[in-house]
Structure 1
Amino acid sequence: MTLDLLASTLNFAGDSGRLNPVKLFLDADIVVQAIMLGLLLASIWVWTIIVTFILRMGRVSRRCDEYEDGFWEAENFESYQKGRRRGDVPMGKVASAGLAEWRRNASTRTADYEGVRQRIAMAMNSAVGEEADRLAARLNFLATVGSVAPFVGLLGTVWGIMNSFFQIGQQQNSSLAVVAPGISEALFATAIGLFAAIPAVIAYNRFSHRVNAFEARLQRFADKLHSALTRQLEAR
């Protein structure tokens, strides 16, 4: 079996005094094994989210930098928007929402400039919220793992300790040598739970701050564009 081979490989030169995580997993009760496996899968998914979020946030920030620099230098916002593929640029989507609402009102004569300003602002604010929600879509999983994983690991520990005491009753032997291996396997479940929870909590707090900062940046862009569009509308 692959896990048995890995356990024997990690058991350096037959050094039984060294902790062997694979052996602890293999010797654990089936319920504890299932809990450990679930926590390991959750940990893998947590690190997948961490890596993909970092890469995606860096890519989005670079694209927004390029888009914003060109946008404010353009003589005509609509021409710039049409001549550039927005792709996955959140600022482009915010600008599109504002320009679309501006075009609908610029084509008609109206004295209700306050209502026009509000509609343009609402359109861009909605786009800002959608882009922020899209960036934060998977962060709830990090929060869930960070809060639940330690308790799931503790459940495995409690079950393992209960099983150890059951074995004591079966063998009629309360020696520490009999109890210690089962308790070690049980405590390993808590360790895996913490291994999954700690990076999840750190990443969630850090990434939530980055999403909030990026949303604030989009909102500042939307406010500047709102001012520019309403000035043009009133000048007509």
Structure 2
Amino acid sequence: MILAHLSHATSHLANLAFFQDQQAVGFSLPDMWHQMGDLAKGVVFVLFIMSIWSLAVMIDRWLYFSAARKQSREFAPKVAGALREGKLDEAVKVADRNKKSHLAEVVTAGLQEFRNYGGGGSAVTPEQIESSKRALERAEAIVHAKLKRGLGALATIGSTAPFVGLFGTVAGILKAFNEIATMKTPGIGAVAGGISEALVTTAFGLLVAVPAVWTFNYFTNKVESFDVEMDNSSSELVDYFIKQSRR
């Protein structure tokens, strides 16, 4: 009886040692990278390029929007004061000094069209106002396109990065099953490489996608607020032209 118990305990310890040995798999990033298959490495490389691209767009849009907001705050009161005093040329000069402002780009187009059409004369015609209005609309469309530059890339990255990571997940799972079939050995050690490969690509895909989606929504809201500001400025400038025509 005692020998039977000792034999059973020895067998149990041997199985436990075997299981622990199977679990002793390295999960450091360098080791994991070397253990990855070519397909998974390709997926990680593509996700890395997507992350760099999205980061570049985020930085570019942040700098562009910050400069536009700062210069617009300085531009609006100055150009309003110049127009109240009837100094059309001064208003154009103020707009030219704030070229990064989205409001300045739109207002400049309207003022220049108004002046070039004959705004310096004594009579302001309806055709002159209509021409200036069209110039404002064209400028708004151009500035809107500038504001949205790069946002399409963020939307694409945010929507496709999880699927690129999922492609690596499938590759990792297939590798795990292939290792089971090849080694014919049950246990975590036989599938650890493939499972870790699958999880890493999945996590990397989400890590790339989530910031891209967040920043896309944030910048889209910024563009919408800038569009409202440009519409208001254009409307106020047209009202100014109409008042000038009635004098």
TM over 0.5: yes
Partner in structure 2 of residue 215 of structure 1: 227
Aligned partner letter, 2:88: F
Partner in structure 2 of residue 156 of structure 1: 168
Distance (whole Å) between structure 2 residues aligned to residue 71 and residue 109 of structure 1: 21
From 39, 59, 64, give the equivalent of 1:51.
59
Identity of aligned residues (%): 27
Structure 1 spans left out of the alignment, 5+ residues: 1-15
Partner in structure 2 of residue 229 of structure 1: 241
Mapped contact 2:124–2:244 kept (Cα < 8 A): no
The range that moved more, 80-89 or 134-143, is 80-89
Mapped contact 1:36–1:189 kept (Cα < 8 A): yes
| Number of residues of Structure 1 aligned to a counterpart in Structure 2 | 219
Partner in structure 2 of residue 30 of structure 1: 38
Partner in structure 2 of residue 11 of structure 1: none
Deviation at 1:40, TM superposition (A): 1.6
Distance (whole Å) between structure 2 residues aligned to residue 18 and residue 214 of structure 1: 52
Aligned partner letter, 1:27: Q
Deviation at 1:152, TM superposition (A): 0.4
Q: 1:101 to 1:177 in 2, by over 3 A?
A: same
From 133, 137, 146, give the equivalent of 2:158.
146
From 75, 81, 86, give the equivalent of 2:92.
81
Give the TM-score normalised by structure 1.
0.83
List per-residue Cα deviations over 1:1-26 (Å, max 9, x = no partner). Answer: xxxxxxxxxxxxxxx78853343223
Deviation at 1:117, TM superposition (A): 3.6
From 86, 99, 103, give the equivalent of 2:115.
103
Aligned partner letter, 1:42: M
Mapped contact 1:129–1:215 kept (Cα < 8 A): no
Distance (whole Å) between structure 2 residues aligned to residue 175 and residue 212 of structure 1: 55
Deviation at 1:112, TM superposition (A): 6.5
Larger Rg: 2
Distance (whole Å) between structure 2 residues aligned to residue 112 and residue 187 of structure 1: 69
Aligned partner letter, 1:138: G
Q: 1:69 to 1:112 in 2, by over 3 A?
A: closer
Instruction: Establish whether residue 122 from structure 1 lines up as the match of residue 130 from structure 2.
Output: no
Distance (whole Å) between structure 1 residues aligned to residue 197 and residue 137 of structure 2: 52
